[in-house]
Amino acid sequence: MDQVLIQRAIEGDERALQALWSQHSPHIDAVIRRLVGDPDLAADVAQDVWIQIFRALPSYRGESQFGTWAHRIAVNRTLNALRRTRRIAKSEADIEDDTVAVEHDSERALLAASIEEAANRLSPGARTVFMMHDVEGYTHEEIARELGITPGGSKSQLFKARAKLRRLLAHVVDGLTPDTDPENVAPVF
C-alpha cells in the first residue's frame, strides 16, 4: 500500500502526498510534540519535518517500513531544531512567559497536563533523553549516538530527569505542591 503511494508521491501526485501525510502524521507529529514540549515550536518543527520527509522520498529504499523511516527523519530533524533553538536562546536575553492555565474537563487530561508541565521544567538535555528513552523507547546507546554524548551521560540525564519528575509530580500522587519539599512538611494528624 505505502509503496504505491510513495511511488505516486515521488512522481508528484499531490493526493498521494496527502494520503501519506494523513496516514502517518498522527504518530510523527506526536513524536515531535513529545520531544519539543512547546506546542507552537512543535508545530513549526513538524512542518519542517514533513517538508524534509517529502523531499527525501526519492531516497527511500524500502528497507524498513515507511513509518519507521519517517520516524527516524522526524527525530533527527527535531533534535537538530532543538539544538538550533538552544543556540539562539543562549544568545538572546531570557524572557519569561506567563504560563496559561487551561481548564480540563477530566482527571486524565489534568494528569497529562501535569506530566507535560513537569517534563517542560526539565533541563533540555534531561527532557530529550527522558522522552527518547522512556517515551520513544530508544536505548542509551542509540541516544548517545543521536545526541553525541556517552551512554553513561544518557543514563545520568535520565536518572536526573526521573528524580526531578518524581519531585515535581509528588503533588499528583500525594497532594503536595510541586515546590514543596516532602521532608519539610509537617505531618497531618
The segment(s) of the chain belonging to CATH 1.10.1740.10 are 1-92
> What local confidence, expressed as pLDDT, does residue 107 receive?
67
Domain covering 103-177, topology: Arc Repressor Mutant, subunit A (1.10.10)
Q: Tens digit of pLDDT for each residue in 24-71?
A: 888 888 888 888 887 888 888 888 888 888 888 888 887 778 888 888
Torsions phi, psi for 96 (to 5 deg): -85, 125
3-state secondary structure 41-58: HHHHHHHHHHHHHHHHHH
Q: Does domain 1-92 have CATH number 1.10.540.10?
A: no
Q: Smallest Cα–Cα separation from 69: which of 81, 45, 47, 52?
A: 52
Query: C-alpha grid cell for residue 63?
Result: 528497507
Instruction: Please tell me the predicted confidence (pLDDT) of residue 188.
Output: 43
> Percent of the chain at pLDDT above 90?
0
Which whole number is the average pLDDT over 94-119? 59
Closest by Cα among 60, 72, 56 to 3: 60
Is residue 152 helix, strand or coil?
Answer: helix
User: For 63-95, what is each residue's pLDDT tens digit?
Assistant: 778 888 888 888 888 888 887 777 665 555 444
* Angstrom distances, CA of residue 161 to CA of 61, 82, 113: 37, 18, 17
Domain with CATH 1.10.10.10 in the chain: 103-177
Q: Report whether pLDDT(176) > 50.
A: no
CA angle at 156 for the pair 151 and 159, rounded to the nearest 5°? 125
